[in-house]
Structure 1
Amino acid sequence: MVSIVIIGSGNVAQHLITAFLQSDEIELIQVFSRQKESVSHLISLDKIVSDYDEIKEAAIYIIAVSDNAIGEVSSKLPFENRLVVHTSGSMPIEILDSKNRRGVFYPLQTFTKNKAINFKEIPICLESELADDFMRIEKLAKSISNSVQSISSEQRKALHVAAVFVCNFVNHLYKIGNDICVENQLSFEILKPLIVETAQKIIQLSPENAQTGPAKRNDTETINSHLNFISDENQKEIYKLLTKSIIDHGKKL
């Protein structure tokens, strides 16, 4: 059984706590949280600490905090030569204090508070400085996920950028679509079957082959009609930029 301590109490930390508690191969011995009540609904209070000096010995320590806090948190850990990993998609392995053995345990998914997720389907990207440590975090990852991969810090940064495009930016486009519907007394619900079909298509097709719409057809009459309809200048600029990118087949603008 692999013993672990989770340091953090945000969305990622809470989902990891839930996943590890469901695994028979993992012993979650402690959670470090400055605000104990933020995770007390997931794990008993006697396993939650807010003092670094009270952190118990474990095989792996998982730092699941905001990117700008990883370095500071890792430097405050009151021990040396233990395996410490972070969960960030964008920060390099070197952000962790070198007094401990360093690694990365990055679950590639968007996490929302109180929304359950099946961790078995989530890719977990791993990196470590030592081969033995990689085997340890690989065992940990495989206890909760069916998709585990070795990925370098540079590859992980590229993956995180790609994830921002396909997740965060796409969600913002949903927000714009919702705003346009509301402004014109339409329900956003009407668009949901289209959203689902669009997402499902790329399971079988490449994004390039799945692309449809006026920009793909270079239908300038429809494009100009849309631009004349859009009154919000920000929306208009986004429409122009994405239209040009599609027409240019995703080439640099």
Structure 2
Amino acid sequence: MISVVLLGAGNVATHLYKAFIKSKDVSVSQWYNRNLEPIQTYKNEVEVVDDINKLKKADVYIIAVSDDAISNLSSQLPFENRLVVHTSGSVGIYELDKKNERGVFYPLQTFSKDAEVDFKQVPICIEVIKKTNLKTLKSLSEALGSESHKVNTEQRKALHLAAVFVNNFTNQLYRIAHEITESKGVEFNILKPLILETAKKVQDLSPYMAQTGPAKRNDKKTIRKHLKLLENQHHKDIYELLTTSIQKTHGRKKL
């Protein structure tokens, strides 16, 4: 049984808590946040505290707060020589205070407050300084049903950057598509099977091989029609930028 103390009350901390309490191999000893209100709902399930000096001894302390707050919070911990990890994709492992053993437990997934997360579908990227801590964090991943991946700092930062492209940027493109359909009174829902098929396709094909559309086939006539249809200059700029990117990737001449 791995004992865990959670620090933070955001989306990642909340989803981790919900997953940990379902595991027979993990015990959440405490949940800390400087403001108790966000975690007050769980006070009948786990001990919630807002006093950092009252933290109990545990196998792993998981800091799941905003990137800017990680270093400061780790320096405030009132103990030494215990395993402290953060959950960020972009914060370096050495930004954790060196008075404790340091690690990273990065769940590579998008977390929204009201969306359920199946951790069996969430890869956990693990980074440690002390090799003996690798086993503990791997066991913690297994307790969630997650596949773990040992990475170094540069690899993790690259994954986080790539995740911004496949998740955040893609979601913004969904938003633009929603604006386009909405402006003509057509339902965005009609596009959802296409969204699913696009995601499904790259499970078996490389993104390079899966690419289709007017930019790849250099259909200049259709591209011009699309640009003419776009009324929002910002949307037009994005269309031209992505079209150029696809053309460069697939060796097509620009407009």
TM-score by length of 2: 0.96
Kindly provide the amino acid, as one letter, of the partner of residue 51 in structure 1: D
Distance of 1:187 and 1:210 partners within structure 2 = 26
What's 1:222 paired with? 222
* Other structure's SS at 2:18 match: helix
Question: 140-149 or 32-41: which moved more?
Answer: 32-41
Question: Which amino acid is the alignment partner of residue 201 of structure 1?
Answer: K
Between 1:173-182 and 1:201-210, the stretch displaced more is 201-210
Measure, in 1, the Cα distance between the counterparts of 2:43 and 2:204.
Answer: 40
1:46 Cα shift?
6.0
Change (3 A) 1:45 1:24: closer
Aligned to 1:7: 7
Aligned-residue offset at 1:34: 2.1
SS in 2 for 1:214: coil
Q: Distance in 1 between matches of 2:82 and 2:250?
A: 45
Alpha-carbon shift at residue 50 of structure 1 (Å):
0.3
- Runs of 5+ in structure 1 lacking a partner? none
**Is the contact between residue 216 and residue 250 of structure 2 (CA under 8 Å) also seen in structure 1?**
no
Aligned to 1:140: 140
Cα distance in 1 for residues equivalent to 2:40 and 2:50: 12
Determine the structure 1 residue equivalent to 2:209.
Answer: 209
User: What is the alpha-carbon distance in structure 2 between the residues aligned to residue 219 and residue 178 of structure 1?
Assistant: 24
Q: How does 1:113-152 map to 2 (within 5 A)?
A: 113-152=113-152
What SS does the aligned partner of 2:84 have?
Answer: strand
Give the 3-state SS of the residue equivalent to 2:212 in structure 1: coil
Q: Cα offset for 1:115?
A: 1.3
The Cα shift of 1:141 comes to: 1.3
Which residue of the partner structure matches residue 172 of structure 2? 172
- 1:231 paired with 2:201, answer no
Tell me the SS of whatever aligns to 1:143: helix
Bigger drift between 171-180 and 41-50 goes to 41-50
* Residue matched to 1:40: 40
Alignment of 1:240 with 2:240, yes or no, is yes
Q: CA separation in 2, counterparts of 1:16 and 1:45? A: 14
Contact 2:215 2:223 in 1 (8 A): yes
In the alignment, the residues of structure 2 paired with residue 246 and residue 99 of structure 1 have an alpha-carbon distance, to the nearest angstrom, of 48
Residue 22 of structure 2: aligned partner: 22
Evaluate the alpha carbon distance shift between residue 201 and residue 66 of structure 1 in structure 2; reply closer, same or farther with a 3 A threshold: same
| Distance across 2 between alignment mates of 1:194 and 1:35 | 43
- In the TM superposition, what whole-angstrom CA distance separates every residue of 1:36-81 from its partner, at most 9, and x where no partner exists? 2312334527600000111111111000000000001001100111
CA distance in 1, matches of 2:180, 2:97: 48
Task: Give the whole-Å Cα distance in 2 for the aligned partners of 1:114 and 1:44.
Answer: 21
Partner secondary structure for residue 203 of structure 2: helix
Higher mean displacement: 139-148 or 211-220: 139-148
The answer on whether the counterparts of 1:17 and 1:42 sit within 8 Å (CA) in structure 2 is: no
TM-score under structure 1 length normalisation: 0.96
Q: Structure 2 regions of 5+ residues with no counterpart?
A: none
Change (3 A) 1:247 1:43: farther
Following the alignment from structure 2 to structure 1, what is the Cα–Cα distance between the partners of residues 40 and 90?
29
Aligned partner of residue 245 in structure 1, secondary structure: helix
Contact 2:28 2:46 in 1 (8 A): no
Q: Counterparts of 2:244 and 2:179 in 1: how far apart (Å)?
A: 23
Q: RMSD of the TM alignment (CA)?
A: 1.5
Map Cα deviations across residues 103-140 of structure 1 (whole Å, 9 max, x no partner): 00000000010211111111000011101111111111
Residue 105 of structure 2: aligned partner = 105
* Aligned position for 1:55: 55
Q: Which moved more, 1:168-177 or 1:33-42?
A: 33-42
Deviates more, 1:55-64 or 1:137-146: 137-146
Asked if 1:75 corresponds to 2:70, the answer is: no
Query: Matches of 1:32 and 1:158 in 2, distance apart?
Result: 30
Any conservation in 2 of the 1:62–1:86 contact (CA below 8 Å)? yes
CA contact (8 A) 1:63 1:86 kept: yes
Counterparts of 2:103 and 2:114, CA distance in 1: 28
What is the distance in 1 between the residues matched to 2:37 and 2:201?
42
Asked if 2 retains the 8 angstrom alpha-carbon contact of 1:202 and 1:210, the reply is yes
